Structure 1
Amino acid sequence: MKLHIVGASGSGVTTLGKALGEALGVRYFDSDEYFWVVSEPPFTKRRPAYARNAALSQELSQQPRWILGGSLVGWGDQWLTAFDLVIFLWLPPALRLSRLQQREQERYGSKIATEPARAAQYHAFLAWAAGYDDNSSGGHRTLANHNSWLTQVTCPVLELRGDLSVEQRLQLVGHKLIELGWH
């Protein structure tokens, strides 16, 4: 079983991925760990595409079952055939952005207000995230790109749209896995 969870930043990809991994006893991988080089401040240095793809492919090849969260749009066509099920998450933009603001405050606290560079990064991130649904964020992670990518993957796609709890999402994924013959 090779599952991929994708959605906008703040849609709950990591939360569902970790919960699903725990429920199924399967390792969860996050694409951000391969896309970004560990840095301070975080999420400022991108890893070269060849390096991130090689590292992710290597890690996944060592596991018979896994869950991968994050957007792979623009990472190459090899990912279109890599999964047994793709789970797409969508939340209303206002709710998603509120969750992102709260998450960033929890992560970085007063640094957002007291460090000019961190404040600029925070505001740029929120502006980028706000552009997901209307496709104005630039780059690959937009609703239009995700919708297009979902039509290209060769496996079933489960779309979970709306403000569902983690428990509701787990239940819906569980039903889909049973439907597909995975217990």
Structure 2
Amino acid sequence: MKIHIIGGSGSGKTYLADKLSKEYGITHYDLDELQWDNKADSYGVKRNAEERQEILEDILENEQWIIEGVYYKWCKQCFADADKIYLLQVPRRVYIYRIVKRFLKRKLGLEKGKKETIRSLIHLIKWADIYEKNDMIEIKKILERYKDKVMII
């Protein structure tokens, strides 16, 4: 089984991916790990595009996978290869609550995470709003060709 989960920040992608991974014994890959250099000294440093593509191609070669993330422009092969695509959409109040909750858990050391700041939190909320208004339209257009394997939640 190859599953791709896409949705905005705070939509529940990681939660769903973790549940499916445990239930079916399939490795879960977070596209943020491909996009961002989490070993960098500061928050928000992108990984080299060629390196990111190499890692993605290695993942796609596996017989089974669960891939989740907000990205779609460089993930078209993921959609083509997936057996099932879950598109997650939640109301604004829900994703903002989840983004802030995650931020606080990370700051308190209750959850592993990136080196976020209040400034990056505000930026993420603004970004999430734009993603839901603009990117989601483009994502739905891309996924139209895969409508037989897309489930919108």
Q: TM-score range by the shorter chain?
A: 0.7 to 0.9
How many residue pairs align between the two structures?
146
Bigger relative CO (Cα 8 Å, ≥ 6 apart) = 2
The 3 A distance-change label for structure 1 pair 98 and 77 is closer
Distance 1:41 1:105 in 2: 19
2:26 is the alignment partner of 1:33: no
Contact 2:6 2:68 in 1 (8 A): yes
SS of structure 1 residue aligned to 2:4: strand
Shift of 1:145: 2.0
SS of structure 1 residue aligned to 2:6: strand
Whichever residue aligns with residue 46 of structure 2, its letter is: R
SS of structure 1 residue aligned to 2:133: coil
The 3 A distance-change label for structure 1 pair 133 and 71 is closer
Equivalence for 2:55: 55
Instruction: Give a deviation string over 1:36-76, Cα, whole Å, max 9, x none.
Output: 1112443x111122221111211332x31111111331105
Contact 2:60 2:78 in 1 (8 A): no
Distance 1:118 1:101 in 2: 11
Distance 2:83 2:7 in 1: 17
Equivalence for 2:151: 158
Q: CA RMSD in A?
A: 2.1
Instruction: Give a deviation string over 1:115-155, Cα, whole Å, max 9, x none.
Output: xx9222221112111222222xxxxxx21122122113476
Distance 2:75 2:99 in 1: 28
Once the two structures are superposed, the pairs formed by residues 1-183 of structure 1 within 5 Å of their partners are 1-38=1-38, 39-42=40-43, 44-61=44-61, 63-75=62-74, 77-109=76-108, 118-135=117-134, 142-153=135-146, 156-160=149-153
Shift of 1:12: 0.3
Q: Give the structure-1-normalised TM-score.
A: 0.72
SS of structure 1 residue aligned to 2:46: coil
The runs of 5 or more residues in structure 2 that have no matched partner are 110-115
Q: Give the structure-2-normalised TM-score.
A: 0.85
Distance 1:90 1:67 in 2: 18
Distance 1:152 1:51 in 2: 28
Shift of 1:109: 4.3
